[in-house]
A and B are shown apart, each in its own frame.
Chain A
Amino acid sequence: MSQTHAHGRSSGKPKLALYWAASCGGCEIAVLAIDEKILTVAEHFDVVFWPCAVDGKVRDIEKMADGEIRLCLFNGGIRTSEQEYMARLLRRKSQVLVAFGSCAQEGCIPGLANLSNREEIFRTVYRDTLSTDNPQGIYPQPETAVPEGKLHLPIFYDTLKTLGQTVEVDYYLPGCPPEAENIWEALVAVLEGRLPERGSVIGKNTTVCDECPRIREEKKIKRFKRIWEVIPDQEHCLLEQGIICCGIATRAGCGAKCPQVNSPCIGCHGPNEGVEDFGGRLLSALASMIDSNDPNEIERIIREGIPDPVGTLYRFNLASSLLRRSRRAATDGNGQKGAAASKLGAVS
């Protein structure tokens, strides 16, 4: 990476920024999965900001003119005040802001924490886990007085929001993480200036089944099976074998990678074009496949086969779904309930 210049000495090349908010970091690795093409990227872009890989300072970005960055690939959801600040900053400075990967696009796994609030999360993380030794019950505080003065930590929000719920996003690149070939496609598209309609998802307008070679017959399910229960038949539709494969509801573009290796699709590409609520869609499709008219039997089939409905149906998209979060009293950045909390908007 020695050829890239984080300080943005003008090289005439379009500027590229990458940022990592509330996410696991897999998206950062995914960028490198384009292999040697990363050199081509460096050839055509001036990487001005990529905290994971390149030394760079926020103040340098702050000093830039608005729109000076040609392209920003932003991964991760918005969980803290710092992330929100960075999202707003990079939005302002970038011509094209891409919500990169499932977390930025729809919240992903961190979004499942919307089933809890800040206080519960802190209690678990800083007190209740077995490996935590915190007898005084000290939680992170936004402001801490020390002899040298006051220290600040970002405020931890009650609700994880997607990038699109925070700032205007130009494009969405789905996936957990996005596939190398799609990343490359997107980069080339930006360089060549052939971009689709603003606000659109870069991908296909159909679902994973379209790319899946498995044989489909009839979807009638007597029992949903967990993946550890069976070694699935290699040739037939996994869902028809009772394994919940989210491919029917998940946007295509991944090449049906998971089903091809006998693993069900878990839905990381999010819903198809025009579908607002992935989980709701998948739920009504699954419900229609249950092969019974007896309410008790149906209840049993669901209870035994789908012990974690939210984790199954909304694994990647709870934060962006119509549900957004559990309906529980939200707390503010300091764990306070009440007026301050409502300003943050538990349910936006």
Chain B
Amino acid sequence: MIKGDKNLRIGVYVCHCGTNIAGTVDVEKLRQFAETLPGVVLARHYKYMCSDPGQELLKQDIMEHGLNRVVVAACTPSLHEETFRRAAEQAGMNRFLVQIANIREQVAWVTDDAETALDKAKAHVAGAVRRVALHQPLERQFVPILPRALVVGGGIAGIQAALTLADAGKEVILVEREPSIGGHMAMFDKTFPTLDCAACILTPKMTAVKNHPNIRLLTYSEVINVEGSVGNYRVQIRRRPRYIKEDLCIGCMQCVEACVFTRARFPNPFDRGLGMRKPVYIPFAQAVPPVPLIDPEACLRLKQGKCKETCVVACGDRGAIDFEQQVIVEEYQVGVIIVATGYQIFDPSVIGYYGYGKLPNVYTALEVERLLNAGGPTSGKVLLRDGRVPKRVAIVHCVGSRDKKYHAYCSRVCCMYALKLAHLLKEKTGAEVYNCYIDIRTPGKGFEEFYNRVQEEGVHFIRGKVADVSPVPTGPGENGSSGLIITVEDTLLGEVRKIPVDMVVLAVALEPQADADNVRRMFGISCSTEGFFLEKHPKLAPVNTASDGVFLAGACQGPKDIPDTVAQADAAAAKALALIDAGQIELEPNTAWIDEEMCSGCKTCIPLCPFNAISRDEERQIAVIDEALCKGCGTCVAACPSGAAKQKLFGFEQIDEELEGILSYV
């Protein structure tokens, strides 16, 4: 006896999916079986149900035969449920009276045995028929999308995405953890392969962010909590104290001048520790916002409570300095989120034989960027730690990349930045530069040409992995200073070479940020094995994530160069804009609801909801589900001990009937 509507008129459609299904499942026998099921008035099979003629067949039948339920035995509902729901709707049927029996992924593709395949397909169809009989028409519901975006990360990816959105007239909240936006790009000297000055192309964008009326820039701040879902996220942002009021400071830097520390003596992380800063400082000259900040670990007033406070005197009537500033948490509501949290560089000190951290003249590429940069600690002069200009430089490729011990992947940008550094070092110092590479990879616009140019400039290329970097054994080196010797197997010559150099530059890998795992959990993003954030589809949805309304831009998704980052940032902004401009998004139809009489307000469900959609109505002492926030995950429904939490399309009776249907043919 079938439960449900008394006047059931169910149509069953068996899709061949070419030979995907029909090659294993006897579709005619399945059709005949379906016809015998109670409530079924018509059963057909067709080569491609998802094709236009297939959908047309469905629509015709609904209209001509007065079908009031449809079962399509085909592929996974994640592919074509929407197709068949839409077709049914066009024929005047409520779209939720359609049920898919997945006989491709769950049947045809998992066996070669025609007999068991037919049995299992029958079970699925029988389950679907019994379930669909209990389906009720549901209304489609939409929620508005707040026309405001959160961009997390103020590197070039975040900057680009924020500007594109803001230029399109949308409000943007741009959050940056560091005191200034700019990210890694702000540290670079030149960019490959065009050798544009990084600052020259970046700082106008940074300034544009600062001045844009649609962008609210929150630096020195971090997102600490995200609630809600697409269209209506509530985000909490922790803002660290700068001890200088951003709205009062005019960036005159008088306080920095006046600090009781007359000499800068604290390592500046922006210069990778090669340059020094005072307790009150600005990370770099073009920082945005152009507001200094005070390091509470270094400032005498903040650390010991005692200081002449010459900075306060210097600031004078502006009164921008505020030693009482505290961490504050601000809350914002946004409709969409772009995650552009970037990367960190691989720490090469874990590779002992390169001597990084022990041998003073072994540098990471990023440190050399700072040495080359006119705004850097040496004002653009390439000077070793002992003040010498290097005469011989070795650049070691693939440090931490393409190495199963560290990162199996290729970091994509190292070859090109190594070539750029080779060019710049040679240009600035006239040094002999040795590039020790495994393979040179230049698959980009103008990249191969740049490689040729650097070769023509006389940079040496040695194909082989550097096995060792050692100090020159005791005895006076050149100019009495100790030099370095690299050992590398030149695989083209077939011999091991030992090359004396003054400087070793490690072309280090790009890797996920140390806190990437927490960040991705907060935003509901998956990650790939190496820890970079996972796009929804590697080819067809490269900026979407598993969470609707959360998009990816830049190297947080995987190593990429500036043009690719900018392109992806614009793509993410476009996706965000498309959502915002659509104005609304359809809700999952299978949302949960509370049967108010049955709910005892026990609070079991409330902390379980991943979307914070459930709250307790204190007056009525029951749980209440915000339908706009519910994503239909079913967690509360499964956990509700009183059976008060129920789910549309997944009612207990519907599930029971489906099971009964399946089990009666197993």
- Binding partners A and B: yes
Interface pair B638/A284, CB less than 8 Å apart: yes
Interface pair B643/A248, CB less than 8 Å apart: no
Given A207-B641, A274-B643, A281-B641, also A216-B635 (CB < 8 A): no
Does chain A have a CB within 8 A of B601?
yes
Does chain B have a CB within 8 A of A276?
yes
Interface pair A205/B598, CB less than 8 Å apart: yes
Interface pair A206/B642, CB less than 8 Å apart: yes
Q: Which of A220, A247, A248, A282 has the most CB of B within 10 A?
A: A248
Given A248-B642, A276-B652, A285-B641, also A216-B598 (CB < 8 A): no
Interface pair A207/B642, CB less than 8 Å apart: yes
C-alpha spacing A281/B637, complex, angstroms: 10
Does chain B have a CB within 8 A of A299?
no
Name the contact of B607 in the complex, choosing from A218, A274, A285 (C-beta under 8 A): A218
Does chain B have a CB within 8 A of A69?
no
C-alpha spacing A272/B601, complex, angstroms: 14
Does chain A have a CB within 8 A of B139?
no
C-alpha spacing A209/B652, complex, angstroms: 22
Name the contact of A275 in the complex, choosing from B607, B639, B643 (C-beta under 8 A): B643
Interface pair B603/A216, CB less than 8 Å apart: yes
> What A residues does B621 contact at CB under 8 A?
210
> What B residues does A249 contact at CB under 8 A?
641-642
Does chain A have a CB within 8 A of B644?
yes
> What A residues does B600 contact at CB under 8 A?
206-210, 247-248, 252
Q: State which residues 205-261 of A face B: CB under 8 Å.
A: 205-210, 216-220, 247-249, 252
Does chain B have a CB within 8 A of A306?
no
> What B residues does A273 contact at CB under 8 A?
598, 643
Q: A275-319 toward B: CB 8 Å interface, digit per residue (1/0)?
A: 110000110110111000000000000000000000000000000
Does chain B have a CB within 8 A of A271?
yes
C-alpha spacing A205/B622, complex, angstroms: 13
> What B residues does A217 contact at CB under 8 A?
603
Does chain A have a CB within 8 A of B602?
yes
> What A residues does B601 contact at CB under 8 A?
209-210, 216
Does chain A have a CB within 8 A of B608?
yes
Interface pair B607/A216, CB less than 8 Å apart: no
Does chain A have a CB within 8 A of B90?
no
Interface pair A248/B607, CB less than 8 Å apart: no
C-alpha spacing A274/B652, complex, angstroms: 8
C-alpha spacing A220/B607, complex, angstroms: 9
Residue of A nearest to B646 (CB): A274
Interface pair A288/B598, CB less than 8 Å apart: no
> What B residues does A272 contact at CB under 8 A?
598, 642-644
C-alpha spacing A275/B642, complex, angstroms: 7
> What A residues does B64 contact at CB under 8 A?
none
C-alpha spacing A276/B659, complex, angstroms: 14
**What total of chain B residues lie within 8 Å of the partner, measured CB to CB?**
22
Q: Which of B597, B602, B638 has the most CB of A within 10 A?
A: B602
Does chain A have a CB within 8 A of B604?
yes
C-alpha spacing A252/B621, complex, angstroms: 15
The minimal Cβ–Cβ distance linking B367 to chain A, given in whole angstroms, is 39
Name the contact of B635 in the complex, choosing from A220, A252, A288 (C-beta under 8 A): A288
Name the contact of A274 in the complex, choosing from B598, B599, B603, B606 (C-beta under 8 A): B598
> What A residues does B606 contact at CB under 8 A?
218
Interface pair B597/A248, CB less than 8 Å apart: no
Q: State which residues 633-659 of B face A: CB under 8 Å.
A: 635, 638-644, 652, 656
Residue of A nearest to B652 (CB): A274
C-alpha spacing A303/B565, complex, angstroms: 51
Name the contact of A285 in the complex, choosing from B597, B598, B640, B652 (C-beta under 8 A): B640
Q: B604-631 toward A: CB 8 Å interface, digit per residue (1/0)?
A: 1011100000000000010000000000
Residue of B nearest to A245 (CB): B602
Residue of A nearest to B616 (CB): A216
> What B residues does A276 contact at CB under 8 A?
652, 656
The minimal Cβ–Cβ distance linking A128 to chain B, given in whole angstroms, is 37
> What A residues does B598 contact at CB under 8 A?
205-207, 272-274
Residue of B nearest to A288 (CB): B639
C-alpha spacing A252/B599, complex, angstroms: 11
Interface pair A289/B604, CB less than 8 Å apart: yes
> What A residues does B599 contact at CB under 8 A?
206
Name the contact of B643 in the complex, choosing from A210, A216, A281 (C-beta under 8 A): A281
C-alpha spacing A307/B482, complex, angstroms: 70
Residue of A nearest to B635 (CB): A288
C-alpha spacing A134/B371, complex, angstroms: 97
> What A residues does B597 contact at CB under 8 A?
205-206
Q: A52-86 toward B: CB 8 Å interface, digit per residue (1/0)?
A: 00000000000000000000000000000000000
> What B residues does A285 contact at CB under 8 A?
604, 639-641
> What B residues does A208 contact at CB under 8 A?
600
Q: State which residues 577-605 of B face A: CB under 8 Å.
A: 597-604
> What B residues does A209 contact at CB under 8 A?
600-602, 642
Residue of A nearest to B604 (CB): A285
C-alpha spacing A275/B644, complex, angstroms: 9
Q: B420-442 toward A: CB 8 Å interface, digit per residue (1/0)?
A: 00000000000000000000000
Interface pair A248/B652, CB less than 8 Å apart: no
> What A residues does B604 contact at CB under 8 A?
219, 248, 285, 288-289
> What B residues does A282 contact at CB under 8 A?
641
Name the contact of A271 in the complex, choosing from B603, B635, B643 (C-beta under 8 A): B643
> What A residues does B635 contact at CB under 8 A?
288
> What A residues does B602 contact at CB under 8 A?
207, 209, 216, 219, 247-248
C-alpha spacing A287/B598, complex, angstroms: 21
C-alpha spacing A220/B641, complex, angstroms: 15
Q: A176-206 toward B: CB 8 Å interface, digit per residue (1/0)?
A: 0000000000000000000000000000011
> What A residues does B603 contact at CB under 8 A?
216-219
Residue of B nearest to A291 (CB): B607
The minimal Cβ–Cβ distance linking B141 to chain A, given in whole angstroms, is 24
The minimal Cβ–Cβ distance linking A23 to chain B, given in whole angstroms, is 26
Interface pair A288/B608, CB less than 8 Å apart: yes
> What B residues does A275 contact at CB under 8 A?
642-643, 652
Residue of B nearest to A249 (CB): B641
C-alpha spacing A220/B604, complex, angstroms: 9
Residue of B nearest to A282 (CB): B641
Residue of A nearest to B607 (CB): A218
The minimal Cβ–Cβ distance linking B374 to chain A, given in whole angstroms, is 50
> What B residues does A207 contact at CB under 8 A?
598, 600, 602, 641-642
C-alpha spacing A133/B478, complex, angstroms: 104
> What A residues does B644 contact at CB under 8 A?
206, 272
The minimal Cβ–Cβ distance linking B301 to chain A, given in whole angstroms, is 41
Q: B494-514 toward A: CB 8 Å interface, digit per residue (1/0)?
A: 000000000000000000000
C-alpha spacing A281/B597, complex, angstroms: 18
> What A residues does B652 contact at CB under 8 A?
274-276
C-alpha spacing A273/B596, complex, angstroms: 13
> What A residues does B638 contact at CB under 8 A?
284, 288
C-alpha spacing A205/B599, complex, angstroms: 8
> What B residues does A219 contact at CB under 8 A?
602-604, 607
Residue of B nearest to A289 (CB): B604
Q: B524-535 toward A: CB 8 Å interface, digit per residue (1/0)?
A: 000000000000
C-alpha spacing A271/B639, complex, angstroms: 14
> What B residues does A289 contact at CB under 8 A?
604
C-alpha spacing A11/B145, complex, angstroms: 74
Q: State which residues 40-64 of B face A: CB under 8 Å.
A: none
Q: Which of B606, B607, B638, B641 has the most CB of A within 10 A?
A: B641
Which 9 pairs of residues, A with B, have the shortest CB-CB distance?
Answer: A249-B641, A210-B600, A209-B600, A285-B641, A275-B643, A248-B641, A207-B642, A209-B602, A288-B639
A-B contact pairs, 7 of them (CB 8 A): A206-B597, A208-B600, A210-B621, A218-B606, A219-B607, A248-B642, A276-B652
The residues of A with any CB-CB pair to B shorter than 8 Å are: 205-210, 216-220, 247-249, 252, 271-276, 281-282, 284-285, 287-289
Given contacts A217-B603, A285-B640, 18 further A-B contacts (CB under 8 A): A206-B599, A206-B642, A206-B644, A207-B598, A207-B642, A209-B642, A210-B600, A210-B601, A216-B601, A247-B600, A248-B600, A248-B602, A272-B642, A273-B598, A275-B643, A281-B640, A288-B608, A289-B604
